[in-house]
Structures are given as C-alpha cells and as structure tokens.
Amino acid sequence: MKSGRISPWYFEFVAPLIDAYYAGDLDLARGLHAVALASLSQEPDHDFARAKWLRLQNAWIFILLELGQVDEGMHVFDELLANWGINQPGPESAEMARVCELLTRLHMDLGGWLPLHPQEVQQLINAVPEHRRGGNFWNEVGLWAFRHRNRKLLDEALIHFSGDPAGDHKDWFHWRLVLMRRMLTHSAKVADVRHVIGLIEERPQMREFKRYLLPACAAEGLVTPEIEVELEDKASKLAA
C-alpha cells in the first residue's frame, strides 16, 4: 500500500511508530507521531503530503485505540472522517483515502466502537484498487470476515497469505487465518491452535489472539489444559 516515494517515508517515520506500539510505549509513540507529522512539511507535492498524512493518522488511531486512549482516538477518527469525504488533491491521496477509510472502519467495528454493515464492507473493499490490497489490507479484512463468519472474504484473505507476501510476521498472519478458516468449518484441531500460539512473538499478537480467537477456540472445544499452560508460558515470556 506504500507506493513510490511514500514507501521510504513510511519506513523512516511510521514503521518506528508501529514498533513503539508493539513495545507498548505510548510516550515514545507520541514523540514519534509528532516527528512524523513535522516531516510532512518537507513534502512539496500536496497530493503526496495528504496521502502521507492519511496513512500516518490511520496508524495513529489504531495505536491510540489499542493502547486505551479511546477519547483521543475517537477525536482522530472524527478528523479522518471529515477528510475522507472531500475531494483529495490528487490520485495518490484519493486512493490512500479509500484504503485508510476501509482499514479504520474495519478496526473500529472489530473493537466495538462503531458497527459496520457487511454491505458497507463490500462497498469499501470495491473502492480500493487491486494494487493497494497488501498484507495490512487482507489482515484486517480476514479478521473482520472471521468475526462475522464471512467465508468468502476469509478465503480471499487466505489466498493472499498463502503465497509469499513480503512483510513482518507473515507466518503468523497466514496460520492465524488457516486456524480461523478451519474453525468456521468446524475442522480445526488442537494442534492448529498450538501452532498459532507458537508463532506469537509480540504482546499485541497475544492480545489479539485472546480477544478474537480464544473465545472461538473455546467454543470449538480446543482449549485443553495443555493449551492453557502454553498460553500462560507464552504470556510470561512476552512479559519478560
């Protein structure tokens, strides 16, 4: 999703912000967000400057909501909402607006902050060009599809990660989707759950697993005493 000259900017300014989130360091994240905002003044092209701002704020609202800053996160959402509906200054920002609108709306539905009707989801997906549908796109779509038992969208997400997509944690994304797919068809095994737990490397991944997958695993009878011990051991290692 990070095309052309946005990509180097993303890895310099937004990727460290994501790392701070994974470390659970809100103060560091705030400082890095301020630095990233300041960097936008160095972009002479208004179209690309707006695209960068949209991508940055999309990441920032996710971080704020996940780190418990709900009021501030909703304020950023209102700001983004006002900018999605306006005419963007060029093609780069126009496409980025569609991507960020989808990702933010999906995440807010998953967190219970703002419901999203399935018909709206398909409309938002259709507005995103194919070349913008990367790992982050399919990760959020797949997770939403699992929560709403939409096998068609979940299969599309799994197809993406069944290839060899670039990016961090690709095995986690792939096998997590495999487990989701198998749970929807009631064919998941305890070994599938154990494999996904073994791929958890960061506290946000553990938080996501417990929030979205663990209740479904329990409903399928897949949370054995051994699984509970493995989860406790993994949580202890992450805390250390």
pLDDT in tens, 53-85: 999 999 999 999 999 999 999 999 999 988 887
CA–CA gap between residue 79 and residue 88 (Å, rounded):
15
Q: Region 169-173: what's the mean pLDDT?
A: 83
Band the pLDDT of 3: cuts 50, 70, 90: low
Q: What angle do CA 7, 9, 15 make, to 5 degrees?
A: 85
Tokens 């990016």, residue located: 167
Distance in angstroms between the alpha carbons of the first and the last residue of the chain: 34
pLDDT of residue 84: 87
What pTM was estimated for this model as a whole?
A: 0.87
pLDDT of residue 166: 56
pLDDT value at 206 more than 50: yes
Cα 21 to the center of its chain, rounded Å: 12
Residue 144: its H or E element: helix 135-147
Band the pLDDT of 135: cuts 50, 70, 90: confident
CA–CA gap between residue 57 and residue 5 (Å, rounded):
18
Q: How far is CA 67 from CA 93, 117, 152, 160, 228, in A?
A: 27, 26, 31, 29, 25
Q: Which of 119, 127, 172 is nearest to 150 (CA)?
A: 119
pLDDT of residue 12: 96
Interacting residues of 3 by C-beta distance below 8 A, sequence separation 6+:
92, 131, 132
43 token code pair: 């972009």
Q: Which of 50, 37, 146 is nearest to 95 (CA)?
A: 50
Band the pLDDT of 2: cuts 50, 70, 90: very low
DSSP state letter for 114? S
CA–CA gap between residue 228 and residue 234 (Å, rounded):
10
* Highest-confidence segment of 3-7, 154-158, 236-240: 154-158
Q: Region 74-101: what's the mean pLDDT?
A: 92
pLDDT of residue 1: 42
pLDDT value at 168 more than 80: no
Per-residue pLDDT of 17-54, as tens digits, reads 999 998 889 999 999 999 999 999 999 999 999 999 99
Q: Which of 190, 195, 128, 184 is nearest to 158 (CA)?
A: 184
CA–CA gap between residue 212 and residue 215 (Å, rounded):
7
